[in-house]
Amino acid sequence: MNEKEDVNINLFDLKFLIEKATYYVRSLKDERNSMKLWDSFKST
């Protein structure tokens, strides 16, 4: 029973992290500086 609860918590955390990451990426795309960030990321 404890293992099931742990799995449910992990799935919830994973979903939350994915939603947070998606929101962060969307906000970056809206930024005009996103191209500069992307260029610096690719050059690394």
**Residue range 6-43, pLDDT digits in tens:** 778 788 899 999 999 998 888 877 776 667 777 777 77
**Per-residue confidence (pLDDT) for residue 32, from 0 to 100:** 66
Please count the residues of the chain. Answer: 44
**Per-residue confidence (pLDDT) for residue 17, from 0 to 100:** 92
DSSP annotation string for 1-44: -HHHHHHHHHHHHHHHHHHHHHHHHHHHHHSTTHHHHHHHHHH-
**Per-residue confidence (pLDDT) for residue 19, from 0 to 100:** 93
